[in-house]
Structure 1
């Protein structure tokens, strides 16, 4: 039987999907979980019983990191399905041309530079754009975030509330370049917060509009500055648009003897060192550090950090390098960190009242650790700690409510016996990986059966914030981390980007 072009295109998509899935060593069920789809749908697409959708193709490309191959097969199928051809002035991609997934807008090259001079940090971002979509682009979203004390979020938030970042001090300038012409771009604020700005760069100015049409390329450049009193020793690039190449430069004074290093995170990997080293060169009285990567995955984050070992360029004692991460400070208190086997094992039940003495000793250690934690972080949402987090394999946890006038709750051998059908999603932190926050769905009310010192059992109902705190700690006692509760594909948020530290959960 002769097959139609659209059937052949669908077959090509299914074959490309299967090739990349098996190449990654994933089953259909595992791929479906990572994509947030029902497993039967992946099976039906590969078996040619279902035709792919655009959303399916985008997610498959992002999860399998197929360098645009899966997305290209879908585009070929989709154009045949709609019986449409490319726009007359749009050049089709050459064989082997990089064609990533996404909205259609591609960053072919980003050059990001940060220079410290004259008591301020000067940032210039340059992006070479290509519109691979079907609609003209008329605006581009950029973000500016500052963090004065990146290793102390509470202090940093308080500082920026008292000394908010302003658009006036940024002195934002933006330009569009095309064919040697350099046109200023107007901009419009989208979000204006104390330490965070989102800005639309508009493809227009007082004289004209210049949209980026499908098939066209243009370079945009924007620059801003922030005084040293509002900047911390870090510079981060986040990949939010499909990007072909990312280049970063740091330009720091030689006399400060800067030591620079970097870390990276992605949806599929926890924080780790950059896969390639920074290259240092000296140009007169400046130390320039360069780093680059090709085809960075979507949602990856690359963070450069530094400290000055020579003459201080900042007289403020508070600016002394504080390189310890939040997880390092938790580890120093004896809190077991993510990856330890004990965090994945169900805790041992107490035999009460026979084990009462042991139970009280464990609870005393938990309570003492909570007291010491107050010196490190403002736990305005409340805080809890489970025995396995201190290396103790017993089923005990202590939870302190957001209201500090209320006594902490002691949980021995707890288990959830009932939960409300109503849920909400809030960001949670965990002492065992305190460098990140995650969006976790939880019931608004849970009923928990737990033991008393004499071995009797009671049932206590917890609501809202306390329900979330107690459920988090019971998960620990069952060998579960909150990441297992998160929706598939939802990334963890680095604590540096989390802006609700110091604020209670909202109900």
Structure 2
């Protein structure tokens, strides 16, 4: 690989890291930033120099908190200005995971000892190709503060993840093996496990199966309270175990995002049992669909807060929301209409955004009790796309893609509302008691759903966000929100005539 291509490696690694974190394919990213899939592929293989426009667009679409732009700015000026050509000697063409590789069983375990996480990945792989396989691509990516990329990027710039602390170990079958580093960034490592060691080579021949295993360590000041498994190869069985100290009183939940727009709880339960002083949570699924993503999250109810000390408890409500990645009032993204999805072409992008929304909802539920229900719109996460979720007081999750209110009742009422983007206040807002909302399924089919009373209020609030409207614009002339300290409705549901609070 030429010197110019080598100089672009940090940018390539940062781009791939954030594309991986956000769950986008090269084609989906290309569509979102207005470039061709071929362009993105050539940038990531080192054959094409990125333009400044591409870097800025990719940083915005991937909500990378400026990390991709900074990596671009680190390139030498001549590097940034020169159009790339294929480089003699580049091995990028061979650095591709075999497309005919089948994972018979993907088994992962994450163990926490109160200070360090140790992740162990075991995969039984089968070679369905006509050629021997001699390497396997793996990625190690961490994000201490999901939904707050600026904060995570700052953390890893000041204290990057190092090979020494990771203490990586790998083997194929019973043989320890080495690896070749592909990308090495502050919070992202990509490398090829090589099926060889100083004593011999152990290729996986056509029709054969073998177990590969690798494990690594990350301290809890660099590892966020989430563990995601993505299905990138045909997989017959997927299993995950979380192993925590019982004294921390862990609470664990999981969400699945597949080929539909919805991100929903796991279809099967996470089992829990105790062994000595350890709490073991296990979950398994058969034949997971390709491109599905399974995200497990947790909190330690008897341990320190996510911030590691009591300072988080002293934050104002708005500061708490900002700390979990919620965009605050004053950001221009909250005042403009969000970009609609082109469906079904952008189905993958919808799945990614909805997964981000669900994850944000789980984080918010960890710092506030939402007795009235809650909702989150993509612009509140810095994502300029027309998607939102609503979670009712009963726990039902409603996904809204490209929604618009097409009809509303003449009957209305006034109730106090709060908004995560300025959560220090509450405002009295008139809303119709019933609304009809047109929205789309992942396959592009348009539907009309009628929402009433409390659910109508929640949905209307989120649809407003997608049109660049805040609830304060609906408040009667001459009124303004009150400080949350003066609000007396916390912990109560909205009240409606007839005693119904959450009609279906």
TM-score, structure 2 as length reference: 0.45
TM-score for the superposition, normalised by structure 1: 0.45
